[in-house]
């Protein structure tokens, strides 16, 4: 999807949200029409935690829509969440491990890739100690995944060198919240939007940014 398509989709999503309609048919109607089944999940694009329904047909993800039973987004999704299913089928999605050989990345098996990682870790730790290695986590990793990484690096390898994109990404925002409101997070609620008469948006493009 190019930028033009993205903007057009944003406009459609915004119009649907304003009118209170859903761009996707209801689960029952969709399943009856083409055999699609819908499964509850959570959008992982940002920290809002919107509930989504993932449409699956013939073992493939074909669409995403908001979960009307979710109390956070009440069935609505932003344009990024609306196209979440595109990530699964993207042509440039990495599907196999790649190892650089002779200056070029070459496809490798998982066993080969994991053996290489383990041997490099072992080599580095034996030579420089456990604090010579570190873990930098993804902002889209779930709590359970991050917990396992903590157990591996702190409990097994023996290092406290763990960092994550979420903390560094939000460090400046947290500082601003504490200074302005005395809390390390926004003091408002999404429910406040229903009664607000004025929206002041600074440094954000709501047509292309997540909430």
Q: Summarize pLDDT for 60-89 with one digit per residue, the tens.
A: 899 999 999 998 888 988 888 888 888 888
Name which residue leads in pLDDT, 164 or 211: 164
pLDDT digits (tens, 9 = 90+) for 19-28: 444 544 444 4
pTM greater than 0.75 (yes/no): no
pLDDT at 16: 46
The span from the CA of 185 to the CA of 53, in Å, is 28
pLDDT at 15: 45
pLDDT at 136: 93
Chain centroid to Cα 179, Å, comes to 28
CA distances from 84 to 10, 90, 195 (A): 13, 10, 29
Q: Which of 55, 12, 51, 18 minimizes the C-alpha distance to 34? A: 55
Q: Which fold has domain 3-89?
A: Phosphorylase Kinase; domain 1 (3.30.200)
The span from the CA of 28 to the CA of 34, in Å, is 10
pLDDT at 1: 53
Name which residue leads in pLDDT, 201 or 15: 201
What ranges do the domains of the chain cover? Answer: 3-89, 94-128, 130-211
What share of the chain has pLDDT > 70, as a percent?
Answer: 83
Q: Which of 7, 9, 6 minimizes the C-alpha distance to 17? A: 9
Q: Which of 47, 73, 72, 77 minimizes the C-alpha distance to 185? A: 47
Q: How many helices (H) and strands (E) does the chain have?
A: 7, 7
Residues belonging to the chain: 211
Chain centroid to Cα 29, Å, comes to 28
The span from the CA of 205 to the CA of 211, in Å, is 10
pLDDT digits (tens, 9 = 90+) for 92-142: 888 999 999 999 999 999 999 999 999 999 999 999 999 999 999 887 777
């Amino acid at each position: 999807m190019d930028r033009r398509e993205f903007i057009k989709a944003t406009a459609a999503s915004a119009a649907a949200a304003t009118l209170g309609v859903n761009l996707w048919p209801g689960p029952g109607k969709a399943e009856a029409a083409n055999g699609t089944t819908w499964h509850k999940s959570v959008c992982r694009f940002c920290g809002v935690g919107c509930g989504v329904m993932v449409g699956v047909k013939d073992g493939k993800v074909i669409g995403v829509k908001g979960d009307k039973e979710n109390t956070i987004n009440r069935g609505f999704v932003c344009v990024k969440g609306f196209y979440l299913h595109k990530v699964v089928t993207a042509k440039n999605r990495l599907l196999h491990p790649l190892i650089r050989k002779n200056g070029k990345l070459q496809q490798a098996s998982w066993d080969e890739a994991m053996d290489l990682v383990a041997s490099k870790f072992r080599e580095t730790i034996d030579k420089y100690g456990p604090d010579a290695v570190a873990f930098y986590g993804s902002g889209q990793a779930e709590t359970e995944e991050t917990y396992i990484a903590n157990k591996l690096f702190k409990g097994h390898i023996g290092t406290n060198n763990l960092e994550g994109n979420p903390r560094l990404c939000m460090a400046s925002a947290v500082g601003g919240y504490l200074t302005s409101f005395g809390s390390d997070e926004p003091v408002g609620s999404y429910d406040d939007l229903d009664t607000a008469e004025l929206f002041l948006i600074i440094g954000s493009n709501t047509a292309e940014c997540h909430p």
